[in-house]
Amino acid sequence: MIENLIAARQKQMSTNTIVGIAEAARTIYQEKLREALEGTHLNQFVAIEPVSGEYFLGTTLSAAIGASRAKYPDRLPHALRIGHKAAIEFGRTIR
């Protein structure tokens, strides 16, 4: 019982910072979501709410984050583009 309380407190503490939110969400993506989502939702966006572990899909970054914020307005999600290293890529032309 005390172990469960300690684990819950550690999870809450790790998601109190932006870096903690991102790390927790990336871990959820890599360990639980990546394989399934990359096979069916490649190039879409996923917003992961790390405290609950729930995720929200969208064809745009705004849609995925909006769905997460609609359900959890007081929690910050972390968004990823499925199958990519970053949610947003900035192009650069080499001359």
- What is the C-alpha separation between 86 and 79, in angstroms, rounded? 9
Local structure of 10: helix, strand or coil: helix
Taking alpha carbons only, the member of 21, 17, 78, 71 closest to residue 45 is 78
pLDDT of residue 93: 64
Instruction: Express each pLDDT in 7-62 by its tens digit.
Output: 555 555 455 788 888 999 999 999 999 999 999 999 999 999 999 999 999 999 99
DSSP string over 24-80: HHHHHIIIIIHHHHHHHSTT-EEEEETTTTEEEEESSHHHHHHHHHHH-TTS--EEE
Supply 46's token pair: 């996923």
